[in-house]
Structures are given as structure tokens and as C-alpha cells.
Homo-oligomer: A and B are copies of this chain.
Amino acid sequence: MTRRPALTVVGATGGAGSVMLQILSQHADVWGEVRLVASARSAGRKLLVRGEECEVLALSEEALDGADVVVFLAPDEIAAHWAPVAAAKGAVVVDSSAAFRMDPDVPLVVPELNPHAVRMRPRGIVASPHPTTLAMIVTVGALHAEFCLSELVLSTYQAVSGEGQAGVEALRRQISLVAGTGLGTSPGDVRRAVGDDLGPFAAPVALNVVPWAGELAEDGWSSQELGLRDELRKLLDLPRLPVAATCVRVPVVTTHSVSVHARFENEVDVARAHEILATAPGVVLFDDPAAGEFPTPADVVGTDPTWVGRVRSSPDDPRVLELFVCGDNLRKGTALNAAHIAELAAREFTAR
């Protein structure tokens, strides 16, 4: 006899959480009870999911009782503490935070790439990669399967919603301050207009780009730059792949972009790369600059797939491809990948 597994979403009130509620309302419904959890601040709020109002519970031991699958869309430190609690209660935990991604006993899963890894979870926890990794991994993984990657050089264009609602609100406040002004052409004028109101960013983000994301890790690298390297190595099972990333925040609300310089063991050609990308699952190839076709965040936001364009090679080195990829950091970048993983886990219950 099969039964529908119970799902608990921790962080249901956030940016990624609200996308998760949409997804739960739109995808084929595999779930029994769906429970919504957030901080005590949100307890008692009512949110719409699967066409019904559902009351938000404050995160606690009891709130995690009875769940078969628990998805965390919450800050790192919340997931670090509560994911093992949920796992100890017997749930399969899907965590989209950074807390467990590099734990050797936690699989890092992208269902298009390594769906079977979901079952290999000694701690009961499955991690979902960072949105920047997710913007590029299916594209790069498909090319790797054919040509064998030997090096990546990456520069990112990361949206402010990567820092949650706080990031979005900071950009909106700052844009209101600079809109309709002549700002952006004199020394310090944007800084003066924005003042100390930087939100979660290290510098003003309106009319600016900020070459910093995360914390200082080591030797001048940021945590997100090294995280991107480490996640790509783990997902591709290439533990020594050279990956040089520069993470930059840009004044885009949602959708991360990455300029990718990929070197392979074998010679590549653009026509074959196009064929591979045109059929890769979850990838949209949008690559005809003569017709104005290349991905931009404004066109990609709100869509499920990741998009790739500007595919080109150079006579300088026939083993190199350049690509520009975009992925909605709240959809495939967070909630959608977590939902895909949770749906894989749900099959274990319905198959029992």
C-alpha cells in the first residue's frame, strides 16, 4: 500500500519559500499533509498553498514531528541546527543552505545530473547547491560528459535576491534614491545618496557593481568564490578541477548570470556544443546574437530552466568554449531544485 508523504517547508515565508509555495501549487501533487514553518515572527500568518490557506508554525521540535520530508529554505545557522533534528526524527531533509554542502556524508544533488545520489545520505540530509552553481551546472555538466572539462574561469553577475528579501529591499530603496537624478557621474555621489543604508552588501548596489559576495575566506578569496569551486568539483566528481571564480553583485533583482570560460581535454566545436545544449534537460539554448538572442536576467527571471547563449570558440585554443548562462536564483537556483530533490525522495515513500 502506498501513502502520500508529509512535507514540511521551513522558511516558507521567505523569497525562496514563496516560490516553493507556487511550485507546490503547480507541480503534480505528490504530497499528503504540507506544513509551513518559519520564525516565531511569522507564526499564525496564513499562506496559500495548493489552493488552501495554511497557517505558519514557529520552528520548534514539535513543528518538525511527523514529516517524511523536510525542506529547509532558511539561513545557514538555522539549517545547521535544525536539519539534524529533523533527520533524527526520521525525515529526509533537503537543505538549500550552505551548511552541509561540503559535508562528505551529505550528497550534493542536481536531479538532472546525479539523481541517484539522493539515496546515499548517511546523515539523512541531502544538500542543494548554491544558486550560482545551479545557474551553470547542467550546461557545464552536459558539455563535460562529451568533451571532459579541464579548467573553468568564471565571473558572476549575481542578483540581490541572493541575499534574501533584505537584499531586494536594499536595492529598491537605493534605486528610489537615485532614480530621476543625475547621480552616477561624480566622485562619491551614489555613496552620498545611499548613505549607510547598504543592507546586506559591502557597497552601494544601485548604479554600481560590487566585486564581493560572502565572507572573507582565505588569501583574498570570498567564501562564495571558493564555495562555487568546491561545489563544482563535488558535483562533477573532479576533485582537482582548477576553478577560478570572481563573484560580483549587480543591480538585478532576481536571476544570477555567469560568464564561463571552459577548457576541455578534447577539442570542441560550437555546432556540436549547440546540439548537446539544445537537448540537455532543463536547459534553454538561446544563442543567435544576429537576431538579438542571448540570455539576460530580465528574460530568464520566473522561468524554470537555466539559459545559455554566447557560445563561441576561439582559434587561440580549440579546446576552449565561452558561454553566458542565466538562471533564476529563487527557482532552479533554490526552491525548484529543492522541490525536484524532495519529489525524488517522495518516490521512496510512494514506492513502499
**A251 (CB) vs chain B CBs: closest residue:** B251
Indicate if the CB atoms of B298 and A191 lie closer than 8 Å: yes
| Chain B residues closer than 8 Å to A248, beta-carbon distance | 157, 257, 259, 324
Question: Within the oligomer, what is the number of copies of this chain?
Answer: 2
- Cβ-defined partner of A207 (8 Å) among B176, B240, B252: B252
Please tell me if A48 contacts chain B, counting CB pairs below 8 Å. no
Indicate if the CB atoms of B244 and A316 lie closer than 8 Å: yes
Indicate if the CB atoms of A210 and B296 lie closer than 8 Å: yes
**In the bound complex, CA of A243 to CA of B311 (Å):** 16
**A187 (CB) vs chain B CBs: closest residue:** B302
**In the bound complex, CA of A202 to CA of B294 (Å):** 10
Residues 240-269 of chain A: 1 if any B CB is under 8 Å from the residue's CB, otherwise 0?
101110101011111001010100000000
| Chain B residues closer than 8 Å to A290, beta-carbon distance | 216
Indicate if the CB atoms of B176 and A311 lie closer than 8 Å: no
Contacting B at CB under 8 A, from A267-320, are 270, 287, 289-290, 292, 294-299, 301-303, 309-314, 316-317, 320
Indicate if the CB atoms of B157 and A261 lie closer than 8 Å: no
Contacting B at CB under 8 A, from A206-232, are 207-212, 216, 219-222
- Cβ-defined partner of A301 (8 Å) among B161, B187, B203: B187
**A210 (CB) vs chain B CBs: closest residue:** B296
Contacting B at CB under 8 A, from A153-209, are 153, 155, 157, 161, 168, 172, 175-176, 178-180, 183-191, 202-204, 207-209
- Cβ-defined partner of A242 (8 Å) among B204, B209, B316: B316
Please tell me if A322 contacts chain B, counting CB pairs below 8 Å. yes
**In the bound complex, CA of A320 to CA of B244 (Å):** 9
- Cβ-defined partner of A310 (8 Å) among B175, B246, B270, B322: B246
Indicate if the CB atoms of A186 and B312 lie closer than 8 Å: no
| Chain B residues closer than 8 Å to A309, beta-carbon distance | 211
Q: How far is the CB of A10 from chain B (nearest CB, A)?
A: 22
A175-B178, A316-B242, A322-B244 given; A184·B253 CB < 8 A: yes
Indicate if the CB atoms of B190 and A298 lie closer than 8 Å: yes
| Chain B residues closer than 8 Å to A261, beta-carbon distance | 153, 244, 246, 261
Indicate if the CB atoms of B251 and A207 lie closer than 8 Å: yes
Q: How far is the CB of A302 from chain B (nearest CB, A)?
A: 4
Residues 89-124 of chain A: 1 if any B CB is under 8 Å from the residue's CB, otherwise 0?
000000000000000000000000000000000000
**A211 (CB) vs chain B CBs: closest residue:** B324
Q: How far is the CB of A36 from chain B (nearest CB, A)?
A: 20
| Chain B residues closer than 8 Å to A246, beta-carbon distance | 155, 259, 261, 310, 322, 324
List 27 A-B pairs, Cβ < 8 Å: A153-B261, A157-B248, A175-B178, A175-B179, A184-B298, A187-B302, A188-B298, A191-B299, A202-B292, A203-B296, A204-B298, A207-B253, A209-B250, A209-B297, A211-B257, A211-B259, A211-B309, A212-B294, A216-B289, A220-B289, A220-B312, A240-B316, A244-B261, A244-B320, A248-B257, A248-B259, A248-B324
Interface residues, chain A, with chain B CB atoms under 8 Å away: 153, 155, 157, 161, 168, 172, 175-176, 178-180, 183-191, 202-204, 207-212, 216, 219-222, 240, 242-244, 246, 248, 250-254, 257, 259, 261, 270, 287, 289-290, 292, 294-299, 301-303, 309-314, 316-317, 320, 322, 324
By Cβ-Cβ distance, the 4 closest A-B pairs, closest first, are: A184-B253, A179-B179, A155-B155, A187-B302
